[in-house]
Amino acid sequence: MNDMTNKWIGQRTIRPDGADKVTGRAQYSADFAMPGMIHAKMLRSPHAHARIRGIDTSKAEALPGVKAVVTAKDVVDFPLDKSVMLGIQDMRWMCRNVMAREKALFHGHPVAAVAAINEEVAAAACALIEVDYEVLPHVIEIEDAIKPDAPILHEWNTFEGKPSNIAGTMVLKTGDVEKGFAEADVVIERTFTSRPVHQGYIEPHACTVSYAADGRVTIWSSSQGQFMVRAMTSLLTGVPQSNIRAIPAEIGGGFGAKTIVYLEPIAVLLSKKSGRPVKMVMTREEVQRATGPAPGSLSTVKIGAKKDGSIVAAQGTFYLQAGGLPGSPLRGPVGCSFAAYAIPNVLSVGYDVVSNRSKVAAYRAPGAPLGAFATECVLDEIAEKLGLDPLEMRLKNSAKAGDKAIYGPVFGEVTFKETVESILHHPHYKAPLDKNPAPGVKRGRGVASGFWYNAGGESSVQVNITEDGNVVVTTGHPDVGGSRASIANVVAELLGIDHSRVSVLIGDTMTIGFSNLTGGSRVTFASAMVATASTEKVIGQLKERAGKIWGIDAEAIKWEDGMALPAGDNAGKFPPLSLKELAAKANEMGGPIGTQVQLNTTGADPGFATHCVDVEVDVDLGIVRVLRYTAAQDVGRALHPGYVEGQIQGGVVQGIGWALSEEYLYDKNGRVDNASFLDYRMPVCSDVPMIDPVVIEIPNPKHPQGVRGVGEAPIVPPLAAIANAVHDALGKRFYALPMSPPRVSERLEQP
Amino acid sequence: MSKIHVSTSVNGEPVEFLCDASASMLDALRGPLGLTGTKEGCGTGDCGACSITVDGRLVCACLMLAVESEGHEIATIEGMAQGETLHPLQRKFLEMAALQCGICTPGVLISARALLEKNPDPTEEEVRFGLAGNLCRCTGYDKIVRAVLETAAEMRETVR
Ligand code: FES
């Protein structure tokens, strides 16, 4: 399994979809067109908070060239008093997010949509729609939203008996924290804030939809799950799932935010009304205003430790910004913050706070980076106070196999220590750092760790042998970053054939069985598992066919290097039969060769990461630059090391943006002030150094190749690692993100 | 409003198209010319996904009016490979996993080619600043920068 004799697993093969992607041929969501297609635009609320008293669309409908207008009354309603869940999404909020119902809850909230002969006419018609708004006081920040006299977004929602913007809570508890803190030699409690950040995928949301005369619907769109698109569209339009063919386009980044729909159901309704295929493409401004982001946070973490560094108690209180509708990822900070550590007394509480911002969507390890920011910074402070090396302190407190995780299960393997040790012994951590390289320039080093659950879940695959003896694999998961390459490596390895003979494609909802979202760091884990099972079945079929040809039992045949061979001397002497030869004889020997496997996969062990970063601060300008970054993670097994490293490097740089430059800015009317890539500052190439990934491979015993999830853990440590490094440089702790130049300057002026 | 007739050259071939006066070069490429390899990430010149060259100069197609292409030479991602032979940058990007989702890739490749034409022996810093107009959210840029540096080295070797 995990040995050096592998020919393809662990190789940096060329991805099956590669040539299309470097030549501009790959079709992303906005690249589709249909004959007779018309174009749609969304009318969005100009107000942060307003009751919708009425909508008059008559003038828009009368405009020449307009083919259909849709408002909330066309969308299936999910009444407020009854929750209808699809995975983790509550359809009450989804139906109100795709189209405002009683109220517009944020600036940019859709209130109507128009389809017309072109985008210009559709936009002109949107301007003719008369919405009768009763503008209400708005609230943006968590601190304001939880005040007793705050404007209430949802009057029906109560907390502790009163109308409230706290829409949900989550509590995890073990031991008795009061008792624990009483036993501690040192206790540190700090409060941290962070701002919402956008996932920042370069491809805006887009779809092309056809509602045919017989009620059958075809959807081309990019998402992290075509089956999610089908299910949500069905629920929001009333079209049965069996009538919806959701075809996954290539996806230009999602990072969690494309696990829900924004456009598809609306485009279906417009197509139905107009009788024409409808294309809908968001502008970047719409993406920034109305999709994503990850929540902002207000967290208080208190940790108590003994003199020797052993942690005796930890308490976390995490307020997350849900946006206009409930549903922030509480399980991220509440469950992950303390999970890597064996702590006898823990109380971890989360609050889901609504305010007049766009509804949050998942973003890479949803919520976990916010918890780690607080926890890992407090740990750093404790280590400093006790005079301990921060990594040694983490080693001392690492959770072990058999410990009960705070979020429920008993840990199997825990490979946290290995990530800490690999940084502890890394040349980066040992390298001397000149802390005062020049006047006005300070340097510092910081470390932090992170935890993410990882996931398994439903996955379907087909492995078919072509008549000329090659292989086509169909999976149900959109490929966000090279998963096709990993699957091809596994199938080529098992079949013992050249990698180039395996094609991997993503099926649509009518051609492949149900497969859950590409998210949760689960796709390589789950799809390699089903691809293995399916390929093993195919090998069984191939042996049977060889057995028929030779007149011996399939049991007496082995499969090696792409050929069937007699298993031993007793089986008889026959010349080997290759995959090509067996494929050529398939039909006379029993029919086509191929299998399908559908599983609810289990056994995804959690992911651990430990990072080390050097920063340089320009004291006069307040600019923090990352000089060197090393990120260690246990990935179980890297099926394709290039794309595993890429996940780590990409996650880290997103974390750097989160820590240093990215944030939503609002004006006094509650409108997003920086809805563009110019003003919403994501890291560019010249902002960052090389990111050194330390890929640790301790095989997951519950996976045929040993895979663990990879994609999410890398974004968990950077916020704290960078804050700790800035502290090392300046001697001042930062409790608020981003550490952007104005804030750094401001902090430097404080005592 | 009547459309304007434009004659230009795209990837070495003469083309003609009709467009509105307000249409961007990106609209023309992705619309009437059917060249959807050039991507729209922002429409405001901030992401570089629509990078093309005009008479060899690097331009964001979203910031250029389609009518401005009259009489000029436009080059897009669709013209980067010669038939079945990928440009060395394209090949190196695949070998070194320098793309994940791939939406930024056409623009990054066009920018990288323009950079290497001007500077065949760039330092890491020069590559980073040369590509600073191309946002990539997936890769963290590490493998992109390495692939450009390696391609440059390889191309210098071939020229020698
Ligand atoms: S590879 Fe996805 S944005 Fe660059």
User: What 8-state DSSP symbol labels residue A680?
Assistant: S
Minimum CA–CA partner of A31 in chain B: B36
Which chain A residues touch B145 with a CB distance below 8 Å?
685, 690
Q: Is the CB of B97 within 6 Å of ligand 1?
A: no
Hey, what are B95's tokens?
Answer: 């070998």
In what side-by-side order are the strands of the sheet with A457-465? Answer: A502-506, A471-475, A457-465, A594-601
- Alpha-carbon distance B28 to nearest alpha carbon in chain A (angstroms): 13
Q: What residues in B contact A201, CB-CB < 8 Å?
A: 101, 103, 137
* Distance from residue B124's CA to the centre of ligand 1 (Å): 20
Residue B70 contacts A where some CB pair is shorter than 8 Å: no
Chain A hits for B99, Cβ within 8 Å: 18, 21-22
Q: What CATH number was assigned to the domain covering residues A293-454+605-749?
A: 3.30.365.10
* Closest approach atom of ligand 1 to CA B144: 4
Residue A58 CA, distance from chain mean position: 41
* Low-confidence residues of chain A: pLDDT under 50: 1-2
Please report where in the chains the tokens 């750093």 appear, as a residue: A380
Residues from chain A that touch B76, judged by Cβ atoms under 8 A, are 24
User: Which among A12, A23, A678 has the least Cβ separation from residue B90?
Assistant: A23
Nearest CB partner across the interface for A21, out of B38, B42, B99: B99
Name which of A26, A482, A649 is nearest B142 (Cβ-Cβ).
A649
Same fold: A18-25+455-601 with A293-454+605-749: yes
Strand partners, A645: none
Q: If you measure from the C-alpha of residue A74 to the centroid of ligand 1, how many angstroms do you get, rounded to a whole number?
A: 36
Contacts of B102 in chain A (CB under 8 A): 17, 21-22, 26, 250, 252
pLDDT at B158: 86
* Integer Cα distance of B43 and A290 in angstroms: 17
* CA-based nearest distance A689→chain B, Å: 8
Tell me the DSSP string of A283-295: -HHHHHHHS--BP
Separation in Å, CA B67 to CA B35, B38, B104 = 17, 18, 25
Instruction: Answer yes or no: is the C-beta of B137 below 6 A from any ligand 1 atom.
Output: yes
Packed helices A523-550 and A483-495: angle between N→C axes, nearest 10 degrees: 30
Q: How close, in Å, is residue B135 to chain A by CA atoms?
A: 6
Which residues of chain B are in CATH 3.10.20.30 domains?
4-79
Provide the number of CB pairs (under 8 Å) joining chain A to chain B.
182
Determine contact: B129 vs chain A, CB below 8 A. Answer: yes
In chain A, residues with a C-beta closer than 8 Å to the C-beta of B140 are 646, 649-654, 688, 691
CA of A153 to the centre of ligand 1 (A): 37
Residues 6+ apart with CB under 8 A from A24: B35, B36, B37, B38, B76, B77, B78, B80, B106
Give the DSSP H/E element, type plus range, for residue A348.
strand A345-354
How many whole angstroms separate alpha carbon B46 and alpha carbon B65? 16
The answer to whether residue A340 neighbours chain B at the CB level (below 8 Å) is no
| Three-class DSSP labels, A186-242 | EEEEEEEEECCECCCCCCCCEEEEEECCCCCEEEEECCCCHHHHHHHHHHHHCCCHH
Whole-prediction pTM value?
Answer: 0.97
Q: Which of B103, B109, B115, B125 to mutate to test the interface with A (most CBs of A within 10 A)?
A: B103
pLDDT in the model for residue A493: 98
Which residues of chain B neighbour A19 with C-beta distances below 8 Å? Answer: 86, 94
Q: Report the distance separating Cα A488 and Cα A503, nearest Å.
A: 7
pLDDT tens for each residue of A365-377: 999 999 999 999 9
SS3 state of residue B28: helix
Between CA A305 and CA A303 the distance in angstroms is 7
Q: Which residue from A27, A203, A642 is facing B41, i.e. has the nearest CB?
A: A203
Residue A740 has a CB neighbour count (10 Å cut-off) of: 20
**B95: chain A residues, CB-CB within 8 Å:** 12, 14
Domain ranges of chain A: 18-25+455-601, 32-136+200-290, 293-454+605-749
Q: How far, in Å, CA of A17 to CA of A505, rounded?
A: 8
CATH code, B88-159: 1.10.150.120
**Which residue of chain A has the CA closest to B108?**
A22
**Torsion-angle region of A647 (φ positive above 0: left; ψ -120 to 50: alpha; else: beta):** alpha
**Structure-block tokens of residue A294:** 């990850």
Q: Specify the pLDDT at position B151.
A: 98
**CATH topology for the A18-25+455-601 domain:** Aldehyde Oxidoreductase; domain 4 (3.30.365)
Helix, strand, coil tally for chain B in percent (to 5): 40, 20, 40
B148: Cβ below 6 Å to ligand 1?
A: no
Digit-coded pLDDT (tens) for B7-57? 999 999 999 999 999 999 999 999 999 999 999 999 999 999 999 999 999
What is the model's pLDDT at position A569?
85
B157 touches chain A (CB under 8 A): no
Tell me: domain A32-136+200-290, CATH 3.90.1170.50, correct? Answer: yes
Q: Whose CA is nearest to atom 3 of ligand 1?
A: B136
B4-79 is classed in which CATH architecture? Roll (3.10)
d(CA A640, ligand 1 centre) in Å: 18
Confidence of residue B1 (pLDDT cuts 50, 70, 90): low
In terms of Cβ atoms closer than 10 Å to its own Cβ (0-12, 13-18, 19+), residue B79 is buried
pLDDT value, residue A1: 41
CB–CB contact B81 A23 (8 Å): yes
Q: What is the 3-state secondary structure (H, E, C) of A687-747?
A: HCCCEEEEEECCCCCCCCCCCCCCCCHHHCCHHHHHHHHHHHHHCCCCCECCCCHHHHHHH
Decide: B138 in ligand 1 pocket, CB within 6 A: yes
B81 in contact with ligand 1, CB cutoff 6 A: no
In chain B, CATH 1.10.150.120 covers: 88-159
Beta strands in chain B (DSSP E): 4-10, 13-19, 51-54, 57-60, 73-75
Q: What percent of chain A has pLDDT over 90?
A: 97
Contact B42 A676 (CB under 8 A): yes
Binding site membership of B136 for ligand 1 (Cβ less than 6 Å) = yes
**A662–chain B Cβ distance below 8 A for any pair:** no
Residue with CA at minimum distance from ligand 1 atom 4? B136
Tokens at B62, concatenated: 């979203």
Pocket of ligand 1 contains residue B99 by CB under 6 Å: yes
Angle between helices B88-95 and B142-159 (to 10 degrees): 140
B122/chain A closest Cα distance in angstroms: 14
Is B64 touching ligand 1 by the criterion CB < 6 Å?
A: no
Identify residue A520 by its one-letter amino acid code: G
Looking at residue A314, the DSSP 8-state letter turns out to be E
Helices and strands, number each (H, E), in chain A: 20, 30
Residue A268's identity, in one-letter code, is V
Euclidean distance between CA atoms A397 and A417, whole angstroms: 9
Instruction: Centre a 10 Å sphere on the Cβ of residue A598 and count the other Cβ atoms it contains.
Output: 17
> CB atoms < 10 A from the CB of B55, how many?
11
Question: Is A646 a pocket residue for ligand 1 (Cβ < 6 Å)?
Answer: no
Separation between Cα atoms, residue A742 and residue B132, nearest integer Å: 22
* Beta strands per DSSP E along A491-622: 502-506, 557-560, 563-566, 577-578, 594-601, 607-618
What DSSP state is assigned to residue B124?
Answer: H
Which of A30, A203, A685 is opposite residue B134, by nearest beta carbon? A685
B88–A contact, CB cutoff 8 A: no
Using a CB–CB cutoff of 8 Å, tell me whether A654 touches chain B.
yes
